[in-house]
Homo-oligomer: A and B are copies of this chain.
Amino acid sequence: MNAPTRRDVEAAARRLAGAVRRTPLVGSPWLSDATGADVRLKLESLQVTHSFKARGALNAILCHAQDRPGGSVVTASAGNHGVALAWAAKAAGVPATIFTPSGAPTTKLRAIARHGASLRAVARDYDDAERLALEHAAAEGAVYVSPYNHRDVIAGAGTIGPELIDEWPDVEIVLVPVGGGGLISGVAIALKRARPGIRIVGVEAENNPVLQRCLAAGRITHVDVSPTLADGLSGNLEAGSVTFEIVAGMVDELVTVSEAELREAMRDLVAHDHLVAEGAGVPAVAALMAGKVRVGGKNVAAIVSGSNVDVATLVEVMTGAGRQP
């Protein structure tokens, strides 16, 4: 597969206009105080389907419906891409089958079912869901829409980029949560050639440092991962994933955050900014709070990428119950 280009991102932005939300960019006084930077949050947590995934999923479904009318799609998802694809497929009248881990958050599984997609919440983890979805695609002739390794999905996610620099032309650093690398790839493609001075920094969960390990190895390799509060970032890279080359070539820095740092970021976003975000939504905030990135005096945009969290999990995080040592 070829990587998408800036032109693909621009085409996606035209395709998505009016169908996805131009999410707010809001200043965060406490995070600015804590870091000595001007920190603003790009609230994809308020996006349709409650995550940035709506952008890539709808872009992919609209392209699919045009190229292969009548065809069905299948995907694997930790949850949010599944919700977004189910929503987009329903809007376009495309049959969709979604494989997820059986332990995905209830709020995500319910939303997938509510949009009328065929939900198969049967996998052990994300990697298992990916394997099952690829088998299903081969057996049923459905088109596999990867949550990260897909040209149209990446281009759709990249539409956050032009919104950011349109609203804040002076932005200097953009922090992006990283799982399979689809979001940061899209944002880097959208911003890096247009504005080479902008630093693009990716943040992985310490329990799922897949791209950093692969970059260190110089190739896509299997990485042992553990469960993380950032469930939406879980999983290894598909062989040949285009996100590996894009991240290697265009991303300035990758850092990790611990489970405790993710918890603290979720809690502090509620306490100070009165915002709900899921674990996978807060790595950029966690990295800023924990001082993982040098940002003093800079204009820093942090993408808060989603808010699909179960109430029980949110309460547990807010009260510190069940906290890891």
Contacts and interface: CB of A to CB of B under 8 A. Distances in A.
A308 interface: yes
A54 interface: no
A11 interface: no
Contacts of A270: 276, 311, 314
Interface string A66-78: 0000000000000
A302 interface: no
A119 interface: no
B276 A309 contact: no
A207 to B, nearest CB: 23
B21 A24 contact: yes
A45 interface: yes
Contacts of A190: none
Contact of A311 (B21, B43, B45, B267): B267
Given A270-B276, A309-B274, A314-B318, A46 B21 contact: no
Identical subunits present = 2
A116 to B, nearest CB: 13
Interface string A282-317: 000000000000000000000000011101001100
A293 B48 CA distance: 27
A274 B45 contact: yes
B318 A274 contact: no
A267 B310 CA distance: 12
A36 B43 CA distance: 28
A50 B28 CA distance: 11
Nearest to A306: B274
B274 A50 contact: yes
A58 to B, nearest CB: 15
A17 interface: no
A271 interface: yes
A107 B50 CA distance: 26
A120 B278 CA distance: 37
Interface string A132-165: 0000000000000000000000000000000000
Interface in A1-60: 21, 23-24, 26, 43, 45-46, 50
13 contacts: A21-B24, A21-B26, A23-B24, A26-B46, A45-B274, A270-B276, A274-B278, A274-B307, A274-B308, A275-B276, A276-B276, A315-B318, A315-B319
Interface of A: 21, 23-24, 26, 43, 45-46, 50, 107, 267, 270-271, 274-276, 278, 307-309, 311, 314-315, 318-319
